[in-house]
Structure formats: structure tokens, C-alpha cells
Amino acid sequence: MPSLPTVWFLLLGLLLVGYAVLDGFDLGAGIVHLLVARNDAERRSVLNAIGPVWDGNEVWLITGGGALFAAFPLVYATVFSGFYLAVMLLLGALILRAVSIEFRSKETNRLWRLWWDAGFALGSALAALLFGVALGNIVRGLPLDDGGVYRGGLAGLLNPFSIVMGVLTLGLAAQQGSSWLVLKTEGALRTRAQRAGVASTVVVIAAWLGATGIAWFDSNRVFDNFARNPLAWVGPVGAAVALAGMLYAYRRRQEFLAFVLSSVAIVGLAATAGATLYPNLVPAVDATRSLTVDNAHSSDTTLTVMLVIALVGMPIVLAYTAFIYWKFKGKVQLDEAGY
């Protein structure tokens, strides 16, 4: 039976995967917004495709941050202090995106709407890129000091592996957003979204191969768990099959299957990152300074109480999330009450 810290490692991963899948298509819709929507009606359709759910999807990120703080406080302190400037940029991007969604339709002036369209696209793309850069540095390993603190600043986070990982998450979000728009829209907008989905999938495959190649020469340690445990291969194999299946689904015009496979690809790549990390949470260049599930967790009492709360609360969150998606199922229809 897995230990309590390991259970919380898995639960934290589940929360972050939930965010990546659900808010991934919100971010992705913003990334491709200016590429697939050519007029005001189409841009309103993009916004209305995510309008009922985008803010609720961000609950998964907030919950994940709270769970990290409570379950692994040393990791929370290291990541949020060491990545301080990057986190502020990320929050700024998410705020710009949210404000752009809400403010765009407050005025009919063309320049006003173009300004907020650009803000929506920029905020979405920057957020997706920064998530990948942060993940790339976590997977690669950080130069932590004796106190478990990273002092390299923002410039220290910009290395070839993390930048390619940023491109990977940018492509994944664009792929997820495009597949959602294919599912929710019609006509020329749907056709362009499908083309964006295919292009994004190609970018994801190329960035994944690039990141793997860089890791082989730059930080070979990331492959250790794959050599020791065959189960670690479930994630990358599942992601590869899903990405290939997406291209087939688009060719066959099976829009729901394409969205499902896009989500599976995200889950598979997240599982790959988790398999790479475990038992580390923040690997250090000097392995003796790494923060792991064993040396960075809260007390067993705290973890037990939180587990009970999670077992009660998560089904409720899943139930109301499912209800909202069922309530707003189907293609987008524009009306005066929409964005």
C-alpha cells in the first residue's frame, strides 16, 4: 500500500492534470483566437465556447496550489520563492486573459475589441508558455543551496530544455483549445480550428522529440525511472498513441474523438512527467538536496485529515463540473446575452 506522502503526490498530480485538461482548452482557445476567428461574430463564438466554464476550470489550479502548500510546504516555499518573478508574470498573464474576456464586449468600438482580443491571445499564450518553462526546470533539476532555496532568478530558468518544454505546453494548449472549438463551433470557424488542431499536434510531437533529445544529453537522470520500472512507459506510450489517433480523428471528422484523444495526450504526458520525477518533487542538481515525498511532507495527521476532506470534496467538485458541461453542451449559439 502506498504511503500517505505518495498518495498526496498522486492526488496533487490529479489536480494539476485536471487543470491542464480543463483550463487547457480555455488557454488554447485564446492562443488560436486571432488565427481561427476572422470577424467579430467568430471571435464572439470563440469566447462563448468557453464562457460558461473558463473561470470554474481555474478552481483546479487554486486547489492544486492549496494542496501543495498543505501537503508539501517545503516544496511550496522553494517553488514560489525561487520562481517569484516567473509566478508574478504568470499571474499577470492570467489576469490579463480574464480581464480581456470580461471587458471585450462592454463596448462596440472596433479598436476596443481588437485591444482585448490581443490581450486574450497574449495572456493565454504567455501563461501556457510559463507553465511549461516551470515544469521543464522542475523536471531537469534546480541548483538548490543547503537550505533548499533556488537563487538563480528568472534568467536561470531560461535554458534550452525548459524553453522547448514551454513550446510543448504551448502546443498542447493550442491543440486542446482547437479541438474544443471544433467540437463547439460550425462552418468556416470550425474548419480553421481543425487546421489549427492538426498544426498544433505536429508542434507537440516535434517539441516532445526535441525535449527528449535535449534531456538525453543535458540531464540523463530523467530516464532513470523508465529503466527501472516498465509501468513508467504507460504515460509516453499512451500519449504517442493519442497524438497519432488525433490526426486520424481529424481526418475522419470525428470531432468528439479528437477532443478525447487530445485530453488523453495531456494525461499521458503529465504521467510521463510524474514518472520522471517520483519520488522527487523538486530534484536538485546535487541529488542530496532534492525535495522528495519523504523529506518534504507535512505531518501524517495533516495528510490524513486532508485526505478525508479530499475524498469528500472531490466528488462534489466533479459532480457540479459534469453538470455544468452537460448543461452547456452542444454548438455555440450567439445571442445578446453572450460575450
Checking if the pLDDT of 336 tops 80, the result is: no
Spatial distance between the Cα atoms of 23 and 53, rounded to a whole number of angstroms: 9
pLDDT digits (tens, 9 = 90+) for 31-55: 999 999 999 999 999 999 998 898 8
| Predicted pLDDT at 111 | 94
Spatial distance between the Cα atoms of 232 and 283, rounded to a whole number of angstroms: 18
For the chain, list the strands marked E by DSSP.
280-282, 291-292
Bigger pLDDT: 150 vs 257:
257
Spatial distance between the Cα atoms of 173 and 131, rounded to a whole number of angstroms: 11
pLDDT digits (tens, 9 = 90+) for 226-265: 988 889 999 999 999 999 999 999 988 899 999 999 999 9
Checking if the pLDDT of 161 tops 70, the result is: yes
Give the chain's mean pLDDT: 91
What is the domain partition of the chain in residue ranges? 4-327
Placement of cell 496550489 in the chain:
65
Burial class (CB in 10 A: 0-12, 13-18, 19+), 241: middle
| Predicted pLDDT at 299 | 93
| Predicted pLDDT at 308 | 94
Cell numbers standing for residue 275? 514518472
Bigger pLDDT: 133 vs 288:
133
Q: What percent of the chain has pLDDT over 70?
A: 99
CA distances for 115 relative to 105, 150, 291, angstroms: 11, 37, 43
SS3 280: strand
- Give 316's contacts (C-beta < 8 A, 6+ positions apart): none
In this structure, are residues 134 and 157 in contact, taking their beta carbons and an 8 Å threshold?
A: yes
Residue 82: pLDDT band by 50, 70, 90 thresholds?
A: confident
> What's the rounded mean pLDDT across residues 120-142?
93
In this structure, are residues 24 and 171 in contact, taking their beta carbons and an 8 Å threshold?
A: no
Checking if the pLDDT of 337 tops 70, the result is: no
Checking if the pLDDT of 338 tops 80, the result is: no
> What's the rounded mean pLDDT across residues 137-158?
83
